[in-house]
């Protein structure tokens, strides 16, 4: 019973002491080729490395003697109250990590009050994922080559009870991962993008066994501003855009009616050579203003990382790879334990830094280390 915290602890490997321990332990629980696909970045993995280095480049500036008696991690996001700012990023094909795939992740998120973002490329149907997820669930949308198919996905997400759409715009084609190729990774035939089964790929796109272009059929027709405007006119759900790095895009997206942004470089899996997403935050926060919803992902591995992202302007963070690691190690319990651990790490960090609420975590709480960049 994953809603019983004691029962959950019984199934968690004894040597998990922090969120990042899942990254180490996962090697014993997953095929190395699948792990190369999950952990790898695109190209030379320059951006992947930058994402992790960026967090190390900032240190904390704690304050003393502040009243922490009413401390909490609640926030308002898109008109709803979340108990904490740890979200599950949209990640394709959870069945690579665990036979129960997204269903287990959704259970883990529900048990820990986390908002789960279900990928278009989920390996269980979005309707079934929605049923397991808690009250907070968003659907990540990849534009399909044909608008009628995109619209069908949107209607299905609305009917299933998702409360927001996350449109990912930084991966119109899948960038090859040299690490996954070297490992000889091929998507197992049993793992399919089942949400798209009813939308045949356009005839001219040949699906190849080579994993670097296996998804090209789904992502080959990159959306434009006109497509985004069309989408905004065709759904009543708030639309969040994921993959923003440039303040000019942020301003334009906001003015078009987009409800929030995810500052992200896709975890270093899309365009290699872009900077880490963390240092992009302050400029984008300044561009969109104080109250506009901003999330960050790419490189979150601890509660201290979350603190730094919030200090630089994020309202919440999304966790990508770590959720698949925890899923592979201990299924739904692992995901629940990961989220709880990240939340606890954040709370410890807040308490010792003198921040009773997320609003107290401002830019004055951290500083860039000299010579870090
Ligand atoms: C992803 N990501 C992703 N993003 C998205 O919008 N749709 C998707 O289907 C996927 N699929 C996907 C698969 C795998 C295996 C990974 C690791 C990532 C990107 C994801 O949402 C997020 O941006 C990054 O994972 C964040 O970086 P970290 O937390 O992995 O460092």
Chain segment 246-272, per-residue pLDDT in tens: 999 999 999 999 999 999 999 999 999
Task: Please report which residue ranges of the chain form alpha helices under DSSP H.
Answer: 5-10, 21-25, 32-39, 46-56, 101-111, 126-132, 147-160, 178-183, 216-219, 225-233, 247-256, 281-288, 303-311, 321-353
Residue 23 lies in a domain: yes
Q: Are 276 and 47 in contact (CB under 8 A)?
A: yes
CA distance 104 to 117: 13
Bridge partners, residue 244, by sequence: 263
DSSP-assigned letters across all residues of 196-236: GTTSPPPTTPPP-SSGGGTTHHHHSS---HHHHHHHHHT-S
Q: Is 372 annotated as a binding residue?
A: no
Q: What is the pLDDT of residues 318-357, one digit of tens each?
A: 999 999 999 999 999 999 999 999 999 999 999 999 999 9
CA distance 214 to 330: 29
Q: Closest Cα to residue 108, out of 17, 21, 267, 1?
A: 1
CA distance 141 to 241: 10
Domain around 176: 5-61+69-368
CA distance 144 to 231: 12
What pLDDT does 7 receive? 54
327 lines ligand 1 (CB under 6 A): no
Q: Is 3 annotated as a binding residue?
A: no
Lowest mean pLDDT among 38-42, 154-158, 241-245, 368-372: 368-372
Residue 145 lies in a domain: yes
Residue 373 lies in a domain: no
Ligand 1 atom closest to residue 168's alpha carbon, by position in its atom list = 6
**What's the mean pLDDT in 367-373?**
78
What pLDDT does 172 receive? 84
Q: Flag whether pLDDT at 300 surpasses 50.
A: yes
CA distance 352 to 350: 6
CA distance 112 to 84: 9
296 lines ligand 1 (CB under 6 A): no
50 lines ligand 1 (CB under 6 A): no
Residue 344 lies in a domain: yes
119 lines ligand 1 (CB under 6 A): yes
**What's the mean pLDDT in 240-247?**
98
- CATH number of the domain where residue 220 is located: 3.20.20.70
Q: Whose CA is nearest to atom 14 of ligand 1?
A: 91
Give 30's Cβ-side CA count (13 Å radius).
Answer: 29
Q: Is 132 annotated as a binding residue?
A: no
CA distance 45 to 76: 35
Tell how far the Cα of 89 is from the centroid of ligand 1, in angstroms. 6
* Number of independent structural domains in the chain: 1
Q: Is 291 annotated as a binding residue?
A: no
38 lines ligand 1 (CB under 6 A): yes
Q: Is 206 annotated as a binding residue?
A: no
Q: What is the pLDDT of residues 22-68, one digit of tens each?
A: 999 999 999 999 999 999 999 999 999 999 999 999 999 999 999 99
Catalytic-labelled residue, pool 84, 98, 266, 337: 266
> Who wins on pLDDT, 302 or 14?
302
Lowest mean pLDDT among 121-135, 158-172, 191-205, 351-365: 191-205
Tell me, yes or no, if 266 is annotated catalytic. yes
Lowest mean pLDDT among 82-96, 184-198, 211-225, 303-317: 211-225
Alpha-carbon dihedral 113, 114, 119, 120, rounded to 10 degrees: 40
Predicted confidence band at 244 (pLDDT cuts at 50, 70, 90)? very high
Q: Whose CA is nearest to atom 25 of ligand 1?
A: 320
CA distance 189 to 45: 27
Tell how far the Cα of 325 is from the centroid of ligand 1, in angstroms. 13
3-state DSSP assignment of residue 246: coil
- Exposure string over 170-184, b if 16+ CB within 10 A, otherwise e: bbeebbbbbbbbebe
121 lines ligand 1 (CB under 6 A): yes
97 lines ligand 1 (CB under 6 A): no
Q: Whose CA is nearest to atom 12 of ligand 1?
A: 91
Pairing of strands 116-118, 366-368: unpaired
How crowded is residue 152: how many other Cβ atoms within 10 Å of its Cβ? Answer: 15
3-state DSSP assignment of residue 164: strand
Tell how far the Cα of 356 is from the centroid of ligand 1, in angstroms. 31
Residue 338 structure tokens? 């990961």
What pLDDT does 292 receive? 98
What pLDDT does 317 receive? 99
What pLDDT does 219 receive? 52
Ligand 1: residue of 267, 305, 322 to mutate (most ligand atoms within 8 A of CB) is 267
Q: Are 207 and 187 in contact (CB under 8 A)?
A: no
331 lines ligand 1 (CB under 6 A): no
Look up the ipTM and state it.
1.00
Predicted confidence band at 216 (pLDDT cuts at 50, 70, 90)? low
Ligand 1 atom closest to residue 297's alpha carbon, by position in its atom list = 26
What pLDDT does 212 receive? 47
Tell how far the Cα of 267 is from the centroid of ligand 1, in angstroms. 6
89 lines ligand 1 (CB under 6 A): yes
Q: Whose CA is nearest to atom 23 of ligand 1?
A: 266
CA 73 to chain centre: 19
Predicted confidence band at 1 (pLDDT cuts at 50, 70, 90)? very low
Q: Flag whether pLDDT at 4 surpasses 70.
A: no
**What's the mean pLDDT in 147-158?**
98
Longest C-alpha distance within the chain, in Å? 66
Burial class of residue 28, CB neighbours in 10 A (0-12, 13-18, 19+): exposed
Pairing of strands 366-368, 316-319: unpaired
Name the percent of the chain lying above pLDDT 90. 87
Mean pLDDT of the chain: 93
**What's the mean pLDDT in 358-362?**
98
Q: What is the CA radius of gyration of the chain?
A: 20
CA distance 113 to 135: 8
Q: Flag whether pLDDT at 147 surpasses 90.
A: yes
Q: Are 215 and 180 in contact (CB under 8 A)?
A: no
Q: Is 321 annotated as a binding residue?
A: yes
């Amino acid at each position: 019973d994953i809603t019983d915290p004691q029962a959950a602890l019984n199934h968690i490997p004894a040597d998990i002491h922090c969120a990042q321990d899942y990254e180490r332990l996962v090697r014993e629980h997953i095929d190395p080729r699948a792990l190369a696909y999950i952990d790898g970045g695109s190209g030379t993995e320059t951006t992947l490395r930058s994402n992790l280095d960026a967090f190390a480049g900032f240190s904390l500036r704690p304050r003393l003697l502040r009243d922490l008696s009413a401390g909490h991690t609640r926030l308002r996001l898109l008109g709803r109250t979340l108990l904490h700012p740890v979200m599950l990023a949209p990640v394709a094909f959870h069945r690579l990590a665990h036979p129960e795939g997204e269903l287990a992740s959704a259970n883990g998120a529900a048990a820990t009050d986390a908002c789960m973002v279900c990928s278009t490329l989920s390996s269980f149907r979005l309707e079934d994922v929605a049923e397991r997820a808690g009250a907070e669930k968003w659907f990540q949308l990849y534009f399909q080559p044909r608008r009628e198919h995109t619209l069908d996905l949107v209607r299905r997400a609305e009917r299933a009870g998702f409360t927001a759409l996350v449109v990912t715009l930084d991966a119109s084609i899948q960038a090859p991962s040299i690490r996954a190729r070297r490992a000889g990774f091929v998507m197992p035939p049993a793992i399919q993008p089942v949400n798209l089964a009813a939308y045949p790929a356009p005839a001219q796109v040949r699906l190849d066994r080579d994993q670097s272009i296996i998804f090209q059929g789904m992502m080959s027709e990159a959306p434009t501003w006109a497509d985004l405007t069309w989408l905004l006119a065709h759904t009543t759900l708030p639309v969040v855009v994921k993959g923003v790095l440039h303040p000019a895009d942020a301003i334009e997206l906001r003015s078009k009616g987009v409800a929030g942004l995810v500052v992200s470089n896709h975890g270093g899996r899309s365009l290699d050579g872009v900077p880490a997403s963390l240092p992009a935050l302050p400029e984008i926060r300044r561009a969109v203003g104080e109250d506009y919803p901003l999330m960050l992902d790419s490189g979150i591995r601890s509660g201290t990382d979350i603190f730094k992202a919030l200090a630089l302007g994020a309202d919440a963070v999304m966790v990508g790879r770590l959720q698949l690691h925890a899923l592979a190690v201990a299924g739904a319990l692992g995901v629940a334990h990961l989220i709880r651990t990240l939340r606890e790490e954040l709370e410890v960090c807040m308490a010792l830094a003198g921040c009773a609420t997320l609003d107290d975590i401002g830019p004055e709480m951290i500083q860039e280390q000299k010579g870090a960049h």
